[in-house]
Chains A and B, each alone.
Chain A
Amino acid sequence: MRLRCPICGERDRREFYYQGAAVMLDRPAPDAGEAAWDNYLHLRENPAGDLEEVWSHDAGCGAWLKVTRNVSTHEIKSVELAREVKQ
């Protein structure tokens, strides 16, 4: 599998570190309540289709990425810099 890092270009997936669902980009406020924190840390969708994920280009530029990937076909729909998604 290959991912197109917005900074480095297309690279082999071995250069990347997989973290998990992109839910973790949206950290709740400290007082958001149990449900929000439970959702942030533990509850995950498991679709047989597109999933938003976070990866790190660990062996490359070091950028954290938001990747939309079809987990059935491994088709990569989009790769964005986490920093830009957040700004």
Chain B
Amino acid sequence: MRVEGKGLIDRKQRLSFRFDGRTYHGFAGDTLASALLANDVRHVARSFKYHRPRGILTAGSEEPNALVTIGRGPATDPNVRATVQELYDGLEARSQNAWPSLGFDVLSINDLAAPFLGAGFYYKTFMWPRAFWEKVYEPFIRRAAGLGALGGEKDADHYEKAYAFCDVLVIGAGPAGLMAAWTAAQAGAQVILADEDSRMGGRLNAETLTIDDKPGADWAADMVSKLAAMDNVRLMPRTTVTGAHDGGTFGALERVSHHVNGVPPGGVKETFWRIVAKRSILAAGAIERHIAFQNNDRPGIMAAGAVRAYLNRFGVSAGKAVTVFANNDDAHRTAMDLQDAGVHIAAVIDSRKDAQALGDYRLMSGAIVTGAEGRKGLEAIRVTTATGTEKIATDCLAVSGGWNPTVHMTCHMNGRPTWDERIASFVPTPGAIPGMETAGACNGAFSTASCLSEGVAAARSSLDALGMTAPDIKIPQADDSNYALEPLWAVPGKGRAWLDFQNDVSVKDVKQAAQENFTSVEHMKRYTTQGMATDQGKNSNVAALALLADATGRGIPETGTTTFRPPYTPVALAALGAGAQGKGFAPERKTTSHAASVAAGAPMIEAGLWYRPSHFPLPDEKTWRQSCDREVGWVRNAVGICDVSTLGKIDIQGPDAAKLLDFVYTNMFSTLKENRVRYGLMLREDGHLMDDGTTARLGENHYVMTTTTAAAGQVMRHLEFVTQALHPEWDVRIMSVTEQWAQFAVAGPKSRELLNGLLDDAIDDSKWPFMSCGPVTVQGVKGRLFRISFSGEHAYELAVPSRYGDSLFRLLVARAESLGGGAYGMEALNVLRIEKGFITHSEIDGRVTAQDIGMARMLSEKKDFIGATMAQRPGLTEAGRAQLVGLKPVGPVKQLTAGAHIYTDGAEPVAEHDQGYVTSVGFSPTLGHFIGLGFVTDGLSRHGDVLNMVDHVRGIQTRVELCDPVFFDPKGERTRG
């Protein structure tokens, strides 16, 4: 219920929202949780395993119970913590993990079957019979267990990543964080202050404490506005720092549009930040822990600090007759604040015998709560004292077992926290994250005064490390009361007492784990599932390991903690993959002929990042094969045009250019004459083929190298390695010019005729023999012409600056069409090269040597080159290696398929009879049958052998004859003619 005169909400802005189909109202500044409590909705969820009714436990991101689904369809967000979901008008939330409804949940029968579903149940109960696991047990468990479900439709919202940089990153904007940010900002440091809440101030917004005689929330608001006005400060509210990573890098999730009804057009739902900070200050506060007793999970039983937060920040009393159960002084404030606001306090139960009342309420010291009644909402508690047991009617029990510092981030780089007996909890181990200071409650300093002074001190240390001068900062006056507690993890007694609410782990489960010898804390976690799922046991970890320590007779420090890993709170995969949706996945590289190819109806296929035309269909062609056959025919009989700009082109200049080429290629390039082109093979240092291509000598000290499209980046990096790391003394400069030139193959018997109508100066075979190159002009534009061929025909490649690429391509195609040819695509290019036995990366797949492809003669013996030594090692030269062969069908089945294996003819097609594999295939319209390239054991000397090709995947068997890989024009007369 609302309490008049309390809270930081805006009562003038009334908001309407729906929960499980019913309409309610709240105010601006509410969370979904506070609005539900204001409407007296206490039962909001069912637990994971036993489907027990659950209510709101906390007021923060550590909430284990109140997980709901927000939105519908593609915008569905499951597992949203109602405690952090800001209320907006029109918000629609649904409960999860209950069927048919939250009130009547069929699977709550699991709760009755609990004796069979205890810790490790899935390792035991469902073991037999074995065959039942997949068909019966697993489907049942999957249906029964679980959190919210995804919408099932593609998430239409955008997410983004972004980078931020600062001198000092302050994580958490409570009193310690605000003072740290203020101090660092006064010194002129670039400061980022990030807080997961929409309103900065931390606990100051949830308490009635004062700072410098001002209400804490007002002091915080003043600080925030002063910081916001500074140029060197960046405030990041709604931003959870999720992880501390190497080198001062932090991940942070900003919830950009969760507080509004739908992502605005062009906007993003979340931004995942990478913040790079020279220094960082963790001021993440602390999380209150529960106390285990029978039925301590009933809706209405809440964290004491949360009950205060709902009152002081949201103007909501979580009950009408409130009781408090605690082992420390801090929780007494809950009674005081509620009483001041006019709420009835039925009793304060303090387990400490010497507990003192802070005000005029009924205190039961040395007492414990031993049970709770009211299944879907708390009705009464049983309190046991030295003299007996009393039942007290109450609809809200505020529990505090003390506070656990939020040390998580300090453990993200393998650090372990240190046990602090004083507060019976873990505190950060100094230096666990390089460059990180810790301050305030996360450091075990719980009073407001100590938070303020630790914030200043942490900033001072950070500024010192940055070489900056810390200003004199007056530390404001604030409460400095002592935090006194006596540890109490679980009250003794019968019945199930809950530790981990999200995973339904009880005290008994932890004891059972210990009994069954899962005594390591990591084993206990996995055996009981304590500390798993969305809250990662934020409320229960310390208590669970304290009980484990007790059960195993060890101390808590020796028992240790499980490993805290990023992210601190859940991060949607959509945020981690942000920017990679749709066209953001990878750059699209488009050639200058792209528009013309698409306009001609060519389907574009991906070649690495490039898009290249598959084929250019004519209107009467039904299949790609028809187009491909026709395009091959054009090149063999007339002339074809193909964009080859995607091949890597590298400009190599300098006095030692030839030395470099001789070193990276297996064959000689220093002997190449100017205006001539040579084919070269490049090895890796281990003797295997890296790439092949042609290199042209444009001048005495000027070459241009061509790489395959696939290996362009790799070869460039390789050349950089050789020139920087192996031979820095060589005077040679290399530069990628792939993008500078639009280059087109003009291939076919009529290629010279085509060019001679186009080039400003006619060419002839005497001046432009095979493997020549040189400058030309095309309608006044300076270009380069290479007489090289990847088709086996008389052919050229003509390059012009890319700005003219589109225009030249259209011109070339038009001229080709007038000569009985036209454009050809990747399919035809592939068939043409297979007909000639030219290799691509389908063949040189990283395991293949020059010898394997029959090019041993290209390994020069006159020089050292990359791979020279290792190419001669026995494993690469001895008999029995798979070698390149041509393949043609000779049996009734005529089809060849790439990827198929080749087996001994007549033998069973199994691994022990494997002879090799097929790398490339195509239907040759020139020869009228399928042809293929492949690798077969000792294949170079086995031409004429007949073997059995078997494609086990597609179910094809074809008898094949091994032959020379050059199927067409073996003497190369067409190329040279």
Contact = CB atoms under 8 A, between A and B. Distances in A.
Contacts of B717: 17, 56, 58
B868 A30 contact: yes
A34 B869 CA distance: 9
A87 B728 contact: yes
B763 to A, nearest CB: 38
A41 interface: yes
Given A56-B720, A63-B724, A41 B685 contact: yes
Given A37-B869, A37-B870, A62-B720, A2 B728 contact: no
A55 to B, nearest CB: 11
Interface in A1-24: 1-2, 12-13, 17, 19, 24
Nearest to B869: A30
A73 B247 CA distance: 10
A28 B685 CA distance: 11
A56 B721 contact: yes
A76 interface: yes
Interface in A42-87: 54, 56, 58, 62-64, 73-76, 81-83, 86-87
B686 interface: yes
B771 to A, nearest CB: 30
B864 interface: yes
B248 interface: yes
B249 interface: yes
A80 B414 CA distance: 28
Interface of B is mostly: mixed
A2 B245 CA distance: 10
Interface residues of B, number: 26
Contacts of B869: 28, 30, 37
B274 interface: yes
B599 interface: no
B728 A86 contact: yes
Given A63-B724, A83-B725, A74 B868 contact: no
B569 to A, nearest CB: 23
Nearest to B276: A2
A2 B725 contact: no
Contacts of B413: 73
A76 B686 contact: no
A74 B728 CA distance: 29
Contacts of A40: 685
A2 B720 contact: no
Contacts of B864: 30
Given A17-B717, A37-B869, A37-B870, A64 B725 contact: yes
B113 interface: no
Given A62-B720, A87-B729, A41 B249 contact: no
A12 B873 CA distance: 40
A27 to B, nearest CB: 6
A2 B870 contact: no
A81 B721 CA distance: 11
Nearest to B727: A86
B247 A74 contact: yes
A81 to B, nearest CB: 8
Contacts of A17: 717
Contacts of B247: 1-2, 13, 74, 76
A86 to B, nearest CB: 5
A34 B870 CA distance: 9
B720 A12 contact: no
Contacts of A41: 685-686, 870
B246 interface: yes
Given A12-B274, A30-B864, A37-B869, A82 B246 contact: no
A82 B717 CA distance: 14
Contacts of A24: 685, 725
B156 interface: no
B726 interface: yes
B721 A2 contact: no
B726 A27 contact: yes
A1 B245 contact: yes
B728 A83 contact: yes
B725 A1 contact: no
B847 to A, nearest CB: 15
Contacts of A62: 720
B352 to A, nearest CB: 44
Nearest to B686: A41
Contact of B246 (A1, A34, A54): A1
Interface string B725-746: 1101100000000000000000
Given A1-B249, A64-B720, A82 B725 contact: yes
A41 B869 CA distance: 11
A23 to B, nearest CB: 11
Nearest to B249: A2
B721 A12 contact: no
A25 B245 contact: no
B721 A64 contact: yes
Given A30-B868, A56-B717, A25 B725 contact: yes
A86 B870 contact: no
A74 B246 contact: yes
Interface in B276-324: 276
Contacts of B721: 19, 56, 64, 82
Nearest to B687: A41
A67 B717 CA distance: 17
Contacts of A83: 724-725, 728
Contacts of B246: 1-2, 74
B874 to A, nearest CB: 10
A12 B249 contact: yes
Contacts of A19: 721
Contact of A64 (B434, B724, B873): B724
A76 B868 CA distance: 35
Interface string B240-252: 0000011111000
B752 to A, nearest CB: 40
A47 B827 CA distance: 50
B717 to A, nearest CB: 6
6 contacts: A1-B247, A2-B249, A2-B276, A12-B249, A19-B721, A27-B726
Given A62-B720, A87-B729, 5 more contacts: A28-B869, A37-B869, A41-B686, A73-B414, A74-B247
Q: What 8 pairs across the A-B complex have the smallest Cβ distances?
A: A2-B247, A1-B246, A82-B725, A74-B246, A83-B728, A64-B724, A83-B724, A30-B864
